[in-house]
Amino acid sequence: MAFTDRFKRAFIAFCGLVAAAGFIAHSVLEETPAEARYIPFGERDRQEHYRISPYDSLIKVWSDSAGLDWRLVSAVVYHESHFRHDAVSHRGAAGLMQMMPATARAFGADSLMDPSQSVKAGTRYLKSLRYRYRGVAANPTEQDKLMLAAYNAGGSRMTDLINYARWKGVDPGYWDNIVELIPDFRTDSILTVDTVKLGKFQGHETIEYVKAVMARYGHYQRIAP
């Protein structure tokens, strides 16, 4: 057989193999369920059913009941306990939402280690705080920030901060305005101000808390629309 004929036959056979391989690959892709295929890391956050935590369903139920965005509540839970239902702080706060036992009981929780009771009490408490600042906050976002600050520092401390802002002629409806006044609470002179009942306050933790929770809330809004 001439070399040219052998070469032609070999080339035709090779082309057949390539075509067959392409057909098989295409068939496999067509038959592979979408959920079983590789999803690039950058695309995973945009999947419709992205899960934030094992407690998503629970948090959604109690958040809806309290009129809160479940993603904001999830951000609070993350920063309070990192989604550990058995977390206990050195101050005695416990559970997913790290509430003190007395406060938790006031909002319907007998066992803070029970995830459902912890989230129920925590969302009810957040709701009460948010409602408290409805006439103070400039807009819903600022209302969320005041709510978070109170959840971290306590309602009475927030009353001091708001009253002091008003005494100074500053609008307390914006959290950043209050943040600018917090350094005054680190000095002895704050003890002479009649509108301040709880005395000095460092505030570093609360400032970082509000900033961190709001940032994570924004992240959760993007990945769990």
Q: How big is the CA angle at 147 (ends 141 and 150), to the nearest 5 degrees?
A: 145
pLDDT tens-digit series, residues 6-23 = 544 554 444 444 444 443
Query: What average pLDDT does range 58-78 have in this prediction?
Result: 98
pLDDT tens-digit series, residues 153-180 = 999 999 999 999 999 999 999 999 999 9
What mean pLDDT value characterizes the chain? 85
- Of 30, 31, 80, 180, the active-site residue reads 80
Q: How far is Cα 70 from Cα 57, in angstroms, rounded to an integer? A: 9
Spatial neighbors of 129 by CB under 8 A, at least 6 apart, are 146, 147, 150, 151, 155
86 confidence band (pLDDT: 50, 70, 90)? very high
Q: How far is Cα 214 from Cα 220, in angstroms, rounded to an integer? A: 10
Q: How far is Cα 22 from Cα 37, in angstroms, rounded to an integer? A: 18
Backbone dihedral region for residue 201 (phi beyond 0: left; psi -120 to 50: alpha; all else: beta): beta
DSSP states of 59-128 as a string? HHHHHHHHT--HHHHHHHHHHHHTT-TT-B-TTS-BTTTTB-HHHHHHTT-S-TTSHHHHHHHHHHHHHH
Q: How far is Cα 82 from Cα 90, in angstroms, rounded to an integer? A: 16
Query: What average pLDDT does range 129-134 have in this prediction?
Result: 97
Q: Is the pLDDT of residue 83 over 70?
A: yes
Highest mean pLDDT among 25-29, 107-111, 170-174: 170-174
Would you call 48 a catalytic residue per the annotation? no
Element (H, E) at 139: none
Q: How big is the CA angle at 103 (ends 102 and 106), to the nearest 5 degrees?
A: 90
Q: Which CATH class is domain 56-223?
A: mainly alpha
- Give percent above pLDDT 70 in the chain: 78
* Residue 43 burial class via C-beta count within 10 angstroms: exposed 0-12, middle 13-18, buried 19 and up: exposed
Residue ranges per domain, the chain?
3-37, 56-223
